[in-house]
Amino acid sequence: MKLIITCEHGGNKIPPKYESYFKDQQENLASHKGYDWGTSDLFDEVKHLADFSKKSEVSRLLVELNRSLHHQHLFSEVSKEFSVTIKKEILGDYYFPYRNLIVEKIAESMKLGEKIVHLSLHSFTPILNGKVRNTDLGILYDSSKLQEKEFSKKLKAILQKHLPYFKIRYNYPYLGKADGFTTYLRNKFPKNYIGVEIEVNQKYAVGNKFSADIKQAIVHVVQQLRENDHLIER
């Protein structure tokens, strides 16, 4: 088994050449619209346990790394107004390098007959459009994939043991099979790839960091994955 950990929305940075377009977007950049609070810190806590890890700190307001090229929200309300030339430049400098590197790493392992487990770290705003999200942590997977379903059950059991006070739900607040990087990778690698998104409620992020117990719970999950290949159905 090879373990890959990624973080698509780790920061809210805007490259200097595009800063002028975002001068009036400071509030959005600092909000959940700009990045996933707490995920950069969480990623840094567990990355050393992975065979390969990758984090982006470029704001999703520039380009959404977790969306397909055809998706209507690939570019934000600001960047969708950019010229075709600038959009291609952004894709070439940030979108494709990030995603293609992960695809290459998976392909290399596949050639060696290795199974890939990919954990994609995210967080979500506790209230969206006036509606409270009713969970503390979400495990997103494709329910039509038996291996992902069984893996997610084991993942939840480990997390619940370390976070007994947490409400943990499957495929909430988003569906695991919706458009996203793991969905893209499942289609590209239909065999020997398990892709799961972990979504943590941002109400637990203070100063852009999650509490020690949350981070340690994720660490324990990764450690058990490293030490116990039997957690992955063969």
**Average pLDDT, stretch 57-73?**
98
CB 41 within 8 A of CB 210: yes
Residue 31 pLDDT exceeds 70: yes
- Output the domain CATH number for residue 175: 3.40.630.40
Find the domain containing 185 and state its range: 2-231
In tens, the pLDDT along 148-198 reads 999 999 999 999 999 999 999 999 999 999 999 999 999 999 999 999 999
State the Cα angle at 179 between 40 and 220, rounded to 5°. Answer: 40
pLDDT for the residue numbered 230: 56
Report the alpha-carbon distance of residue 197 to residue 120 in Å, rounded: 5
**Residue showing tokens 């084991």:** 154
Q: Closest by alpha carbon to 74, among 58, 85, 88, 62?
A: 62
pLDDT for the residue numbered 234: 43
Q: Closest by alpha carbon to 203, among 120, 129, 121, 128?
A: 128
Lowest model confidence (mean pLDDT) among 49-53, 59-63, 122-126, 220-224: 220-224
pLDDT for the residue numbered 17: 97
Q: Closest by alpha carbon to 117, among 213, 8, 222?
A: 222
CB 138 within 8 A of CB 174: yes
Report the alpha-carbon distance of residue 125 to residue 133 in Å, rounded: 8
**Average pLDDT, stretch 41-55?**
96
CB 131 within 8 A of CB 173: no
Given pLDDT bands bounded at 50, 70 and 90, which one contains residue 225?
confident
Residue 219 pLDDT exceeds 80: yes
pLDDT for the residue numbered 229: 65
Domain count for the chain: 1
**3-state secondary structure (DSSP) of residue 60:** coil
Given pLDDT bands bounded at 50, 70 and 90, which one contains residue 232?
low
**Residue showing tokens 């380009």:** 63
Q: Are strands 52-55 and 168-170 parallel, antiparallel or unpaired?
A: unpaired
Q: At what angle do helices 212-227 and 39-46 cross, to 10 degrees?
A: 40
pLDDT for the residue numbered 51: 95
In tens, the pLDDT along 116-159 reads 999 999 999 999 999 999 999 999 999 999 999 999 999 999 99
Given pLDDT bands bounded at 50, 70 and 90, which one contains residue 27?
very high
Mean pLDDT, the chain, rounded, equals: 95
Counted residue by residue, the chain has a size of: 234
Q: How many CB atoms lie within 10 A of CB 163?
A: 18
**3-state secondary structure (DSSP) of residue 78:** coil
Cα distance between the two ends of the chain? 10
Residue 233 pLDDT exceeds 70: no
Sign of CA dihedral 45, 46, 48, 54: negative
In tens, the pLDDT along 88-113 reads 999 999 999 999 999 999 999 999 99
Residue 13 pLDDT exceeds 60: yes
Report the alpha-carbon distance of residue 78 to residue 59 in Å, rounded: 12
pLDDT for the residue numbered 231: 57
